[in-house]
Amino acid sequence: MNIVRLAIKEFVGMFIDDGNLALLALILIAAVTAAVKFLAVPPLLGGVLLLVGCLAILIHSVRRAARGNQ
């Protein structure tokens, strides 16, 4: 059973290396989706918000990882 648990952990680790990065991306996607659907934000602006938000999350994640390695 330990081997199965290890295999599942490795499989999930291939897709979610940084849990904080994945969580923030999901929150961003949910927030922009809600803004476009319920607040009448134009879809093009929603796409720009997604792009800028994802880049900001990525930069934050890279900086945090770089700080941890020093």
pLDDT, tens only, 5-60:
888 888 877 777 777 888 899 999 999 999 999 999 999 999 999 999 999 999 99
d(CA 52, CA 55): 5
pLDDT digits (tens, 9 = 90+) for 18-32: 778 888 999 999 999
The reported pTM is 0.74
Measure Cα distances from 22 to 17, 29, 56, 58 in Å: 8, 11, 13, 10
Q: Distance (Å, rounded) from C-alpha 8 to C-alpha 66?
A: 28
Residue 70 has pLDDT above 50, yes or no: no
In angstroms, the CA 57 to CA 55 distance is 5
